[in-house]
Amino acid sequence: MSIKLIIIGGVAGGATAAARARRLDENAEIILFERGEFVSFANCGLPYYIGNIIKNRDDLLVTTALDLKDRYKIDVRIFTEVVSIDRGKKQVSVKDLNSGKSYTENYDKLILSPGAEPAKPKIDGIDNENIFRLRDIPDTDRIKALLDVKKPESAVIIGAGFIGLEMAENLVERGIKTTVIEMLDQFVPQVDYEMASIVQIFLKQKGVICKVQCPAKSFEKRGGRTVVVTSTGEEIECDMVLMSIGVTPENKLAKECGLDTGSRGGIIVDGSMKTSDPDIYAVGDAVEVKNFITGRPEMVPLAGPANKQGRIAADNALGRSSVFKGTQGTAILKVFKLVAASTGLNEKSLQKNDIAYQASYTHSLSHAGYYPDAELMSVKILFNPNNGRLLGAQIVGFDGVDKRIDVLATAVRSGLSVFDLEELELAYTPPFSSAKDPVNVAGFVASNIIRADVKSVTWNELKTLKGKVSFIDMRDDIELEMSGTMKGAVNIPLNDLRSSLDELDKTKTYVAFCAAGLRSYIGCRILMQKGFRVLNLSGGFTTYQYVKHIVEN
């Protein structure tokens, strides 16, 4: 007897589940309900269509209802909304949004893929016609029509996450004066403050007006324009507003039929993607899944995990045994030429979960320095201070960031340590890397710390050392002339260090730094062996400059 599988919702999770289910069982009856017109589209490509980078709207369609019907023999019903689930009868109530007709369908197994919707805070004036959200193709069409027809001159983006910053890039590229306001103290909350600071500095250089700790308080309509009133009392007048402050899970069906949900509203599932009902599975942005490192539930609205979950849910619904082992939240962002990427846990998450960690910073070139167009790449890794196990990584730079974050993501997933990073044999030729790849270098630096070859201090630990340490700048004179130095630092270039030891006091503790940390590491090794107490500033003056305003205040 063939199984009857109903899937509610398409896009990454639902469409993947439908295709996988058909490949597993040619005789299964598979019905996919989608309340909109588009079964599977490229959410992540929407900003680039608005920005005219993607020229053809149809290129956003990953697959269509007709494609699924012709290739997979799946009964796809678009403009059809499932309004309720009767778990006792194993039946869904359905409404055809075109005809208004309602009917029921029975199921043997059910997969929920409702996704998440843009968060909509209770702010006065939020329903103003010039305020937009970006979730799907109809949203995209409305925004693009405004840009193409009315040609707005200015825009305000509320929220500095991935979508908000991708939209900032594309609006600026279309000649629109763009302001991004964020309620937190940093952009890109997926990475830590100092790494996000690189992104913010770069955006300012590209003409984006950046405001942090600046939540929107209300929206006012003045003529044909919108005024964003912030909590600081500032008024920003613009032609359009994009809300991009995160998403909330669409859990209405799940809650109404009694499925278990978590504190943040996500549908609770086990490793097989099964809900609290043994015949109902759930996938994608609406579910809580296990964090691969902490083992604790969290919500990660990313396309990659949603695809994997759809495949796993289909496996289990049709009798196979597959397990989703957890997510590590690997993500990457491009803003203009700059790339920011992360995997695993950041410092905020590690602290929240009471996990002991050590951080280290390195600044490496994207490929061999003697080959043209090498660009700086800032790498931060977080690791267990005892065994060196890699807990997370963040990279901000240009070419090659994607390659390195994928290597580090694989290392996190495989439980590798910083000592393993030292030994990884990675592809090298001058146009693509160096003989010591940036991943290897990150491993070298972290391993040196664990082995106690050097004692390290990070930028955010400097405040606790105020008045207790002295600083040695080991850069050359010309570097100081170009970028300055820390207040009170004595300049002893590395090559002059051995001849200058008499100028130093063995009763003091020194913090040594250079541009990126290599020369000061060598200097620390010299000083340690000569009986001096010394710490190496991880990431050197380069990292320090990104957060100088915090350290010095």
User: What are the pLDDT digits (tens) for 408-448?
Assistant: 999 999 999 999 999 999 999 999 999 999 999 999 999 99
At 165, is the secondary structure helix, strand, or coil? Answer: helix
Average pLDDT over residues 450-468: 94
The per-residue pLDDT for range 199-246, each reduced to its tens digit, is 999 999 999 999 999 999 999 998 889 999 999 899 999 999 999 999
Question: What gap in Å lies between CA 303 and CA 44, rounded to an integer?
Answer: 8
Residue 482: Cβ-neighbour burial (10 angstroms; 0-12, 13-18, 19+): exposed
Which DSSP helix (H) or strand (E) runs through 243?
Answer: strand 240-243
Distance between CA atoms of residues 68 and 301, nearest Å: 24
Q: What is the pLDDT of residues 266-305, one digit of tens each?
A: 999 999 999 999 999 999 999 999 999 999 999 988 889 9
Sheet of strand 80-86: strand arrangement:
80-86, 91-96, 102-106
Q: How far apart are CA 541 and CA 45, in angstroms?
A: 37
Percentage above 70 pLDDT, the chain: 100
- Choice between 528 and 63, residue whose per-residue pLDDT is larger: 528
* Model confidence at 505: pLDDT above 90: yes
Distance between CA 365 and CA 363 in Å, rounded? 7
Inter-residue contact 20 to 315 (CB < 8 Å): yes
**Mean pLDDT, to the nearest integer, of 344-368?**
97
What tens digit of pLDDT does each residue of 408-417 get? Answer: 999 999 999 9
Q: Which of 399, 333, 388 is nearest to 360 (CA)?
A: 388
With 0-12 / 13-18 / 19 or more C-beta atoms within 10 angstroms meaning exposed / middle / buried, residue 376 is middle
Residue 419 confidence (pLDDT): 98
- pLDDT surpassing 70 at residue 493: yes
Average pLDDT for the chain = 95
Has 257 been annotated as catalytic? no
Query: Would the pLDDT of 255 be above 90?
Result: yes
Q: How many helices (H) and strands (E) does the chain have?
A: 16, 33
Contact 166, 150 (CB under 8 A): no
Helix (H, G, I), strand (E, B), or coil: what is residue 152? coil
Amino acid at 100: G
Helix or strand run (H / E) with residue 77: strand 75-78
Q: What is the per-residue pLDDT for 1? A: 65
Q: Is 209 strand, coil or helix?
A: strand
Both tokens assigned to 242: 């994009």
Say how many Å lie between the first and final Cα of the chain, rounded: 72
Per-residue pLDDT at 498 exceeds 90:
yes
pLDDT at 514 over 70: yes
Q: What angle do CA 11, 329, 375 make, to 5 degrees?
A: 105
Alpha-carbon Rg for the chain, nearest whole angstrom, is: 27
| Interval 37-91: pLDDT, tens | 989 888 889 999 999 999 999 999 888 888 999 999 999 999 999 999 999 999 9
Tokens of 277: 């009902």
Mean pLDDT confidence for 255-265: 95
Whether 155 and 239 have beta carbons less than 8 Å apart is answered as yes
Place of tokens 């979508």: 163
User: Pick the catalytic residue: 44, 210, 214, 524?
Assistant: 44
3-state secondary structure of 3: coil
Distances (CA, A) of 22 to 10, 28, 90, 401, 471: 15, 7, 21, 37, 66
Q: How far is CA 90 from CA 219, 254, 280, in A?
A: 45, 14, 10
